[in-house]
Amino acid sequence: MTKIHDMGGMPCLEALPVENKTVFEKKWHKIVLSLTLAVGALGKWNIDRSRYFRESLPPDDYERFTYYEKWMAGLVNLMVDSGLVDQSELHDFKVAHKPLQGVSVSPQALKSMIAEGDPSLCSNNATFQPHEIGTLVKTKSPPANHYLENGHTRLPAYSSGYQGEIVLYHGFHRLPDANAHLLGPKPEPLYTVSFKAKTLWGNEAENPDDEIHLDLWHSYLEPLPGE
């Protein structure tokens, strides 16, 4: 599987694109956004799984697709994977089976889902003793999923194997590495870890004392002995 989405710190000479001032640049962008939210609201997958499906697109597609093309391709694969749509239906866009009744999410229900969101915070469990703020840690290397070879993870490659310091603690949160693969939320303590620019980039750092902060789960980190 590709790790093409994991692009932080990759060499890049491109300037930033000129800003588009409208909320939706094209009409079909509105369609893709609203389809993604409305079908997602049926509850057949979760946000981690939808990220995993977008980043698992064929690498050349991921590279050339615009943002909403990635969303649409990810959504279609999720719908096929979960049985909402048949591959045959995507060839001619004709319904192969009898339409389902009463499944769709109403405007009112969707509105409250947007307002409530889907918090990843869970209650504490005894499996993990959270580290204290100020603990020095090293991120695991390689940045691999513990449950599944080439599975989803949120430890970017550029931060893997480096020393940082825990600066914030956020409580126990769903672990994307498990949740994306429908293995349950497996909540772990979540921290913000601060890295010095010189630690991550060495001599290439613009300013050695600038800091890069990442939100990382307990199992991504190994505590180091204090100074």
CB neighbour list of residue 194: distance below 8 Å, 6 or more residues apart: 164, 165, 166, 167, 211, 212, 213
Euclidean distance between CA atoms 131 and 141, whole angstroms: 19
Of the two residues 168 and 226, which places its CB atom closer to other proteins in the complex? 168
Closest distance of CB 225 from other proteins, Å = 26
Tokens for 166?
Answer: 């825990």
Q: Residues 193, 165: contact at Cβ < 8 Å?
A: yes
Closest distance of CB 14 from other proteins, Å = 4
Closest distance of CB 7 from other proteins, Å = 5
Of the two residues 112 and 129, which places its CB atom closer to other proteins in the complex? 112
Closest distance of CB 135 from other proteins, Å = 18
Of the two residues 119 and 225, which places its CB atom closer to other proteins in the complex? 119
Closest distance of CB 132 from other proteins, Å = 19
Of the two residues 31 and 224, which places its CB atom closer to other proteins in the complex? 31
- Among 55, 43, 46, CA closest to 145: 55
Q: How many CA atoms lie within 13 A of 191 on its CB side?
A: 27
Of the two residues 135 and 212, which places its CB atom closer to other proteins in the complex? 212
Euclidean distance between CA atoms 107 and 113, whole angstroms: 10
